[in-house]
């Protein structure tokens, strides 16, 4: 059991505080966000630290929900970051449903915030469709694309073998790519 899972277990039993959880995950989330956002276009108004803080608050801040394990927590964090980035794109005046958006190529080193707002919205829409089609593939895409986990980290978080996760990643990327082309 890793440190985060142990802290989550203690938190559930009332033996730990949300501060302990924040301390355990904050640097990891911030480092991932900072590394990915360092390639962000100049003048972007959303910073990596702000993304982590907003995600933490949307997860409940100091009154954290029940998290079963690391996978559950980081899955929720990926979803929170995705929603924040989509909201940010909408506030930037992007067209809904990605009308006229170019297809977004999902590459391992890319976080969703690096894309223009219309591409973020297009990805958001088709990712919701993928969640209905294959929830596990959608979860893997979120962990890789929004949180920036490596293939091995994402596989571990989902309780999969790396080889299985790689196949799921290829399937998810191909599925999303096809849907994005249909929208453009």
Average pLDDT, the chain: 76
Report the distance separating Cα 102 and Cα 35, nearest Å. Answer: 25
Report the distance separating Cα 158 and Cα 122, nearest Å. Answer: 25
pLDDT value at residue 160:
93
Is the pLDDT assigned to residue 63 strictly greater than 80?
no
pLDDT tens digit string along 155-183?
988 889 999 999 999 999 999 989 988 87
Residue 108: band (very low, low, confident or very high) from pLDDT cuts 50, 70, 90:
very low
pTM for this one? 0.59
pLDDT tens digit string along 117-129?
677 777 788 989 9
Maximum average pLDDT range among 64-78, 97-111, 119-133, 154-168: 154-168
pLDDT value at residue 136:
94
Burial annotation 121-135 (CB, 10 A radius, 16+ → b, else e): bbbbbbbeebbeebe
pLDDT value at residue 14:
80
pLDDT value at residue 96:
45
Residue with the larger pLDDT of the pair 76 and 161 = 161
Report the distance separating Cα 31 and Cα 49, nearest Å. Answer: 9
């Amino acid at each position: 059991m890793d440190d985060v899972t142990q802290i989550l277990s203690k938190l559930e039993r009332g033996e730990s505080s949300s501060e302990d959880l924040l301390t355990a995950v904050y640097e990891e989330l911030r480092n991932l966000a900072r590394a990915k956002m360092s390639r962000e276009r100049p003048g972007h108004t959303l910073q990596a630290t702000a993304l982590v803080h907003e995600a933490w608050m949307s997860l409940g801040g100091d009154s954290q929900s029940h998290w079963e394990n690391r996978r559950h927590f980081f899955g929720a964090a990926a979803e929170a970051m995705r929603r924040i980035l989509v909201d940010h794109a909408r506030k930037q005046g992007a067209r809904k449903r990605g009308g006229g958006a170019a297809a977004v190529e999902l590459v391992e080193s890319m976080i969703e915030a690096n894309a223009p707002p219309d591409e973020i919205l297009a990805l958001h829409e088709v990712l919701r469709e993928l969640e209905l089609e294959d929830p596990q593939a959608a979860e893997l895409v979120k962990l890789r694309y929004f949180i920036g986990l490596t293939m091995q980290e994402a596989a571990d978080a989902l309780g999969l073998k790396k080889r299985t996760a790689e196949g799921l990643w290829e399937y998810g990327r191909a599925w999303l790519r096809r849907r994005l082309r249909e929208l453009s």
